[in-house]
Amino acid sequence: MEELAALAGGFAVAVTPYNIALMVLGIVLGVVIGVLPGLGGANGVAILLPLTFSMEPTSAIIMLTSIYWGALFGGAITAILFNIPGEPWSVATTFDGHPMAQKGKADEALVGAFTSSFVGAIFAVALITFLAPAVAKFALKFGPAEFFAVQFLTFASFIGMGRGSPAKTIASMCLGFALACVGLDGVTGSLRMTFGHEELLNGFKFLVAVIGLFGIGEILTSMEDGLKFSGADAKLKMDAVIRTWRQLPKMTGTFIRSCIVGCWMGITPGGATPASFMGYGLAKRFSKNGKNFGKGELEGVVAPETAAHAAGTAAMLPMLTLGIPGSPTAAVLLGGLLIWGLQPGPLLFVEQKDFVWGLIASMYMGNVVGLVIVLTCVPLFAAILRVPFSIIAPAIVVVCAIGAFTVNNAMFDVWMMLVFGVLGYLFTKLGYPLPPLVLALVLGDQAESSFRQAMLISQGDVTVFWSNWLCGAIMTLGVVMAFWPIVSGVIAKFRGPDRVAKVA
């Protein structure tokens, strides 16, 4: 096992008091960045990047990646407590995390989220440690057709899965696609649906929509419900960690599924956001508790968090071996590597052994340190819910507004956020699910470009999606998923009428 020897060398490089101090600093900063919506990990890393130019490359990347880990951990906190996803990949965490908080189990949800983040990350780092070259080759197989297949699968796994009717899910998704179209069309290079307004050049930014739909929408709903947070009177018990950990072994299947989905999406690179949605979708379909998802099931927190963190970590692999970033944060880190004089690519593992293995070792270390830090803070986070609504609600609105403003430094986005807030409230009242809209908004334009790139390459021949086993298998799986409600109905019919009632 030469990897183990190299890894031991890496630990020797990474584990110095100076580096550990940087790691702690980075994680704390990252958690703060993750908590503040709008100020995503990518922005945080970009702001701090110039500070690291005078550091050793290894120390610099340890600090920056620690910010990244911190942001990955931190995104879950506001998602669970206030239904405001601090980061795009925490949207799926709100589905069960927030209902848990409302039931007074915020501490369990937080511990579950942090622990599963950790498991996902460690799984992905292990993958990077032992399989980096092989995995990098796999990522090269992904052309536009394969990318579209993955995106199609993500959408398909959502249809018929929501709490509302499939028709409402599709309506919500279509609205998301329409919003995603606004701005520059990447394939033809012309503007569309901007109606001559300069503000719309940039399109509707996912974060602005999410902050409004979830954050402001939630505040509006709470106001209607009587100006208080449900779950606020839950007693704080110090045994949250042990209590939650006891429940986790039952979810081994979900952990494994989410780890695999997450790593795959991180490497291809699909990103942490689709990974979290897919992880949630799969768990809902295959878990014994699937029917309780959305009502505050711990497993519904574990599934997306494991997948998101596995993807976020695995995204480092294509960045290092291919020079393509698997996430926006990785894109900024990539710029950093070049500035420190390191050229990411196939030779990085050969020429810069100290750096690469130091980084990998720091991934193990960073996640252990991160877990300890956030777990210690769980009672503190959970206690925030005990602050009276009249104090915390204005604070949340202000933080949301700042977050929306930060995305583009534009006041227009703050107004957009408020509009989305009202929309979110109406959606909830009318029983339209929000997640499909959000998913379409975040993945819509990527899916569109992949589809059109694939069509350009194949000269308009749709069979390109079944032109090889990889793409064909994913597409077929996607089609099965999309029509699953019908398929399962048919299967049930054959088995006997008494089961039909259950499925429906």
| Distant-in-sequence, close-in-space partners of 490: CB < 8 Å, separation ≥ 6 | none
Nearest approach, Cβ of 6 to other proteins (angstroms)?
A: 18
Q: Can residue 197 be called a binding residue for other proteins (CB under 8 A)?
A: no
What is the CB neighbour count within 10 angstroms for residue 365? Answer: 20
Footprint of other proteins on residues 315-334 (CB under 8 A)? 318, 322-325, 328, 331-332, 334
For other proteins, the closer of residues 216 and 348 by Cβ is: 348
Among 171, 174, 191, 384, binds other proteins (CB under 8 A): 191
Q: Can residue 265 be called a binding residue for other proteins (CB under 8 A)?
A: no
Q: Which structure tokens are listed for 75?
A: 């995104």
- Can you tell me the distance from the alpha carbon of 106 to that of 4, in angstroms, rounded to the nearest whole number? 39
- Can you tell me the distance from the alpha carbon of 28 to that of 20, in angstroms, rounded to the nearest whole number? 12
The stretch among 70-78, 110-118, 240-248, 341-349 that binds other proteins (CB under 8 A) is 341-349
Q: Which structure tokens are listed for 52?
A: 């690291």
Nearest approach, Cβ of 275 to other proteins (angstroms)?
A: 19
Binding mask 427-466 for other proteins (x = CB under 8 A): ----------------------x---x--xx-x-------
- Can you tell me the distance from the alpha carbon of 41 to that of 328, in angstroms, rounded to the nearest whole number? 8
Among 75, 104, 231, 344, binds other proteins (CB under 8 A): 344
- Can you tell me the distance from the alpha carbon of 225 to that of 214, in angstroms, rounded to the nearest whole number? 16
What is the CB neighbour count within 10 angstroms for residue 426? Answer: 12
- Can you tell me the distance from the alpha carbon of 98 to that of 83, in angstroms, rounded to the nearest whole number? 6
CB 167 within 8 A of CB 485: no
Q: φ, ψ for residue 191 (rounded to 5)?
A: -85, 145
Q: Can residue 186 be called a binding residue for other proteins (CB under 8 A)?
A: yes
DSSP structure string for 313-379: HHTHHHHHHHS--SSHHHHHHHHHHHHTT---STTHHHH-HHHHHHHHHHHHHHHHHHHHHHHHTHH
Footprint of other proteins on residues 134-153 (CB under 8 A)? 139-144
The stretch among 68-76, 127-135, 169-177, 338-346 that binds other proteins (CB under 8 A) is 338-346
Chain-centre distance of CA 257, in angstroms?
16
What is the number of residues in the chain? 504
- Can you tell me the distance from the alpha carbon of 160 to that of 142, in angstroms, rounded to the nearest whole number? 28
For other proteins, the closer of residues 100 and 464 by Cβ is: 464
- Can you tell me the distance from the alpha carbon of 56 to that of 355, in angstroms, rounded to the nearest whole number? 10
Footprint of other proteins on residues 19-58 (CB under 8 A)? 42, 46, 49-57
CB 485 within 8 A of CB 160: yes
The stretch among 111-119, 186-194, 380-388, 491-499 that binds other proteins (CB under 8 A) is 186-194
For other proteins, the closer of residues 108 and 413 by Cβ is: 413
Among 11, 340, 405, 466, binds other proteins (CB under 8 A): 340
Q: Which structure tokens are listed for 397?
A: 């609105």
What is the CB neighbour count within 10 angstroms for residue 393? Answer: 19
Q: Can residue 489 be called a binding residue for other proteins (CB under 8 A)?
A: no
Binding mask 403-432 for other proteins (x = CB under 8 A): -----xx-----------------------
For other proteins, the closer of residues 160 and 270 by Cβ is: 270
User: With contacts defined by CB under 8 A, how many residues of the chain interact with other proteins?
Assistant: 63
- Can you tell me the distance from the alpha carbon of 330 to that of 323, in angstroms, rounded to the nearest whole number? 10
Among 15, 32, 131, 184, binds other proteins (CB under 8 A): 184
Q: Can residue 335 be called a binding residue for other proteins (CB under 8 A)?
A: yes
Nearest approach, Cβ of 46 to other proteins (angstroms)?
A: 6
For other proteins, the closer of residues 188 and 390 by Cβ is: 188
Residues that bind other proteins (CB under 8 A): 18, 42, 46, 49-57, 59, 139-144, 183-191, 194, 198, 201-203, 318, 322-325, 328, 331-332, 334-335, 338-348, 351-352, 408-409, 449, 453, 456-457, 459
